[in-house]
Amino acid sequence: MKAIIRQLIRTLVLLPLLSANIAHSLELPLFKKEAEERGYTLPEAFGLSLGYMSVSQGINVDSISLSGLGALDNIGIKTEGGYQESDVLTLKADVWVLPFLNFYAIGGKLNGYSETTITNVKLFPGLPGDGIEVNEPFKLDLDGYMYGAGTVIAGGYKSLFALVDASYTKTSLTVIEGEIDSIVISPRIGYDFSRNSDWPLRAWVGAQYQNIEQTLSGSIKDLPLGGIPVPDNAKFTVKQSLANQWNTLVGAQYEFTPNWVLISELGFGQRKSFFVTLDARF
């Protein structure tokens, strides 16, 4: 997996450089001249950006299953609603193929955790007092490497613009076994202040849809079972999903020069997020 991640990073770094060589014989985006003749201001075709995102959101624990415990494998485990905190450092390479169509590849490093509470679990019900009842917090550390791809469809009229960003990413975890599959779709609508003023600024509002499936596995010894001895090979598997799939976005872009752009965005509602990226375009 580390070799795959290293290759992905090399690809992300070299992709804009290789694409720039192609651009000498094929100007991108296609139909650039026609778009500019109609009054559209287009960004440089190729980009490489470094970004950081922090996310806090509620999760649902859909199931917790056990293995390696014999008769206890089939006990029912109930949980309360939980939450997840994560920080992601990303590297992204993109290209505008058409004035309204962008494709990108993305890779990154995830750090965070998810936490819920195990409730009303009775172990060894044959014991006096009807067994041992467990009501404990259950925390899983999330650490791994993320990679994926996406596309942006954009359009505008005078100073108004709109776009939809859609991506698919997969995160392979390293501290515990498992992976996270994410589909993210973000429609936005905004205003370009630079067309009617000296401010090189764009601002927008939008929404974000996330469909995330998490399957996490690890040793039962890491579960809060009150020190009860369990076999070394006993495992748990947790399936989680988001408690809320939509939230609101507010963002802005400041253009230092046509080659250097700073973008920042805040997420509100049941999912709170902060995102910032520095974009180099050429």
DSSP 47-68: EEEEEEEEEEEEEEEEEEEEES
Residue 11: what pLDDT? Answer: 60
Residue type, 227: G
CA gap 204, 135 in Å, rounded: 45
pLDDT, the chain, mean:
85
CA gap 222, 195 in Å, rounded: 57
User: 17: which 2 tokens?
Assistant: 């450089």
Residue 22: what pLDDT? Answer: 55
199-244 pLDDT, tens per residue? Answer: 999 999 999 999 998 888 888 776 655 556 677 788 888 889 999 9
The model's pTM: 0.84
Whether the CB-CB separation of 133 and 119 falls below 8 Å is answered with: no
Whether the CB-CB separation of 87 and 56 falls below 8 Å is answered with: no
What is the assigned CATH class of domain 2-281? Answer: mainly beta
> Which candidate, 138, 90, 144, 88, places its Cα nearest to that of 114?
138
Residue 149: what pLDDT? Answer: 97
Residue 127: what pLDDT? Answer: 47
Preceding amide of 137 cis, omega within 30: no
- Residue keyed to tokens 């939008």: 206
From first to last of its 282 residues, the chain has per-residue pLDDT tens of 556 555 555 665 555 555 555 544 568 999 988 988 888 888 999 999 999 999 999 999 888 887 887 766 666 667 777 899 999 999 999 999 999 999 999 999 999 999 988 765 555 555 444 544 556 677 888 999 999 999 999 999 989 999 999 999 999 998 888 899 999 999 999 999 998 888 999 999 999 999 998 888 888 776 655 556 677 788 888 889 999 999 999 999 999 999 999 999 999 999 999 999 999 999
CA gap 282, 275 in Å, rounded: 23
- Listed in sequence order, the residues at least 6 apart from 21 whose beta carbon sits closer than 8 Å to its beta carbon are none
161-201 pLDDT, tens per residue? Answer: 999 999 999 999 988 888 999 999 999 999 999 988 889 99
Give the DSSP per-residue string, 190-254. EEEGGGTSS--EEEEEEEEEEEEEEEEEEEGGGS--TT----TT-EEEEEEEES--EEEEEEEEE
Question: CA 233, 238, 239, 240 torsion: positive or negative?
Answer: negative
Which of helix, strand or coil describes residue 76? coil
Task: Show me where the domains of the chain are located.
Answer: 2-281
